[in-house]
Amino acid sequence: AQSVTQLGSHVSVSEGALVLLRCNYSSSVPPYLFWYVQYPNQGLQLLLKYTSAATLVKGINGFEAEFKKSETSFHLTKPSAHMSDAAEYFCAVSDSNDYKLSFGAGTTVTVRA
């Protein structure tokens, strides 16, 4: 069974500053890992995914994430925050043996002007 822990339920950054959202997972088999973004009153949109190819994954809107097996982590970063990045972000994990995605509790990002 998989599980996901997102460290920090709220993150506040200044416009132009680094965005770092932390995600740790547990999985008994090699995982598939995902980051989703949810804008207010909308559904979830896929930002990026790790599927056992390159460990550094680039996604939409300038986000990227690095898979570190030794740390069981999949942290999300963006070098320079924009006001439009204000949203809730979810890390999720599944594996090839399972149909289900398990989600973290989410991290809400606010961007200060």
Partner 1 sequence: NAGVTQTPKFQVLKTGQSMTLQCAQDMNHNSMYWYRQDPGMGLRLIYYSASEGTTDKGEVPNGYNVSRLNKREFSLRLESAAPSQTSVYFCASSLDGGNPYGYTFGSGTRLTVV
Binding site for partner 1 (CB under 8 A): 4, 9, 32, 34, 36, 41-46, 49, 51-52, 90, 92, 94-101, 103-106
CB of 47 to partner 1, least distance (A): 10
Instruction: Pick the closer one to partner 1 by CB: 17 or 108.
Output: 108
CB of 89 to partner 1, least distance (A): 11
Compute the distance between CA of residue 106 and CA of residue 66 in angstroms, rounded to an integer. Answer: 18
SS3 108: strand
CB of 113 to partner 1, least distance (A): 26
Q: 61: phi > 0 → left, psi -120 to 50 → alpha, else beta; which?
A: left
Strand ranges (E), 8-106: 10-14, 19-26, 31-38, 44-50, 56-58, 64-68, 73-78, 87-95, 102-103
CB of 111 to partner 1, least distance (A): 20
Instruction: Pick the closer one to partner 1 by CB: 58 or 82.
Output: 58
Is-contact 74 59, C-beta < 8 A? no
Instruction: Pick the closer one to partner 1 by CB: 10 or 112.
Output: 10
Instruction: Pick the closer one to partner 1 by CB: 19 or 33.
Output: 33
Single-letter amino acid, residue 32: Y
